[in-house]
Structure 1
């Protein structure tokens, strides 16, 4: 489907990033896809993310939570690594607003960046997000990915 449905030129940046990530994953699995017509195969830009408020940053990173993978480098990951306090603030805001999907995505990013304030209580926060997220499989997926990431980091 990645080849059959490339992002439109006017699609939002998260759409372009998601498609870029799918192409990169397929290439690693031995099935590379050409870049969509009119684009290059490089990473999309992050200007929109670099200048975003902490609220917008958290929302956009939550949408791109699948890119929050330990050891993987991308321009999005570099932006996230440069703003851990803003991301932590966004996680708390998402919990307070009961936006469990955004909180879970932000929590996943918080497991792969350094400089997260200890006072955040991320582990307890993830437990709470999982509990309150109920049966939403998207919340469960992001929380489980965050836990696996944290456990792997603790082993290093």
Structure 2
């Protein structure tokens, strides 16, 4: 299982935002200090208040509105599913993180949650996932943007 710990200034706002994206809340691990956001049976976000998060580190807590410390990315089954979840996130109080990126074999869009945490969503052609982007581009041609790293 994967647990990603993120900070929030407003726990109720975070819960509303992530449920609007289709995630669930596990009430067994949710209280006034934290919310367990369930993406699937193996992937969870622990949204922690700043005070609660500070108990787990001696380091200063980065403010996700002004600093990037982590970007979490999720795959979706289609470009349309990527668009739909980003649009749902914007409607629920998030903001789009830059322009959509279309590489032909891969499509990406980023989202800032209401606290500024970066959540990316992407779709990748099955052939590219199995054989690598170069094989896909050789067979299908390059997309609108160049292949990352080439």
TM range (shorter): under 0.3
> Larger Cα Rg: Structure 1 or Structure 2?
2
Instruction: Give the alignment's TM-score, normalised by structure 2.
Output: 0.25
Q: Where is the strand percentage greater, Structure 1 or Structure 2?
A: 2
Instruction: Give the alignment's TM-score, normalised by structure 1.
Output: 0.24
